[in-house]
Amino acid sequence: MRLVFFGTPQFAVPSLERLLAHPEFEVLAVVTQPDKRRGRGNDLSPSPVKTIALAHQIPVWQPRRVKKEEEALEQLRSSQADAFVVVAYGQILSQEILDMPRLGCINAHGSLLPKYRGAAPIQWSLYHGETETGITTMLMDAGMDTGAMLLKATTPIALLDNALDVAKTLSTQAADLLVETLLGLEQGTIDAIPQDNEQATYAPLIQKSDYQLDWTRSALALHNQIRGFYPNCVTTLRNTPLKITATVPLEGANLSSTATLQSIQQAWDATDITAAAPGTIVALLKGHGAVVQTGQGALLLQEAQLAGKRSQQGWDFVNGTRLQIGETLGHG
């Protein structure tokens, strides 16, 4: 099967590598976003997908607007691909492009559609406290993740999983499911199932304001925000920006799944605290970190990073800052 692969970030790399290694597929070319300037030197840097394509000597096309550039459209037309495979590419494809391949454009989306259509499905599924997510392959149409569904694979979300953890799992799952989907389409063994639009939810682009921590929210809601938008959630300590990158909600969550969580639960159960306003440090759990009062329940700060400093584990952060009970965290 002749394929053109569209993808850009690390999430798409396992899918490209799996297709390149499979004897039933020939990847004719890779379409990826233009190189971006990164780092202190502001040097142009290729996307992870481009790096893999070049290592395999696959032609790379990098149109700034794929649906507008005639050269790119002609390259796609002349490829005579059986399918275009799209994984986290980052541009919207026109109907003209969608109609080019014999089998259509096949997308692997990081949610169980029709839930979490849009740009950031992994992040928002964590934010909303989902305990399960997965990959859906679909036949793309002109809408935003509205195409008919082909196959699904599910994966559980554990209490301490963050967006990076889930993305790593789903990127491998996407690679497996794409192979199964493409072979099934070629063999005619997969039926496309329309999405129920009434069940749809959306996962929009994340805004800078989404990173701000409001300590009047519940401990579980804050925990889900921090792991969902990892590693960018921010508050302040002593008028200095403070990133919170890992937490444990101490009430209303199952803390028996690992020895570490059991140890945290035991230390918390043995701690006496007095009532305090949201954002107040109410306890210092030895070996674990500081505990913050929230609008509902308490939250252990398991990993934190002051502006200009390196990230620290919770107890190292307590010792390094000489944090005291009664100090308060504010808005970022």
Q: Which parts are annotated binding residues?
A: 111-114
Contact predicate 89/108, CB 8 Å: no
Rounded Cα distance, 210 and 152, in Å: 29
* Distance of alpha carbon 145 from alpha carbon 112, whole angstroms: 11
**E-strand spans in the chain?**
2-7, 26-31, 36-38, 43-45, 60-61, 83-87, 105-109, 132-139, 149-156, 234-237, 240-249, 281-285, 289-293, 298-306, 312-313, 329-331
User: By the 8 A CB rule, do 135 and 220 touch?
Assistant: no
Tokens of 215: 């300590």
Residue set of the binding site for (6S)-5,6,7,8-tetrahydrofolate: 111-114
Q: 196: which 2 tokens?
A: 């129920």
- Enumerate the β-bridge partners of residue 278: none
Kindly state the tokens that stand for 16. 């490209």
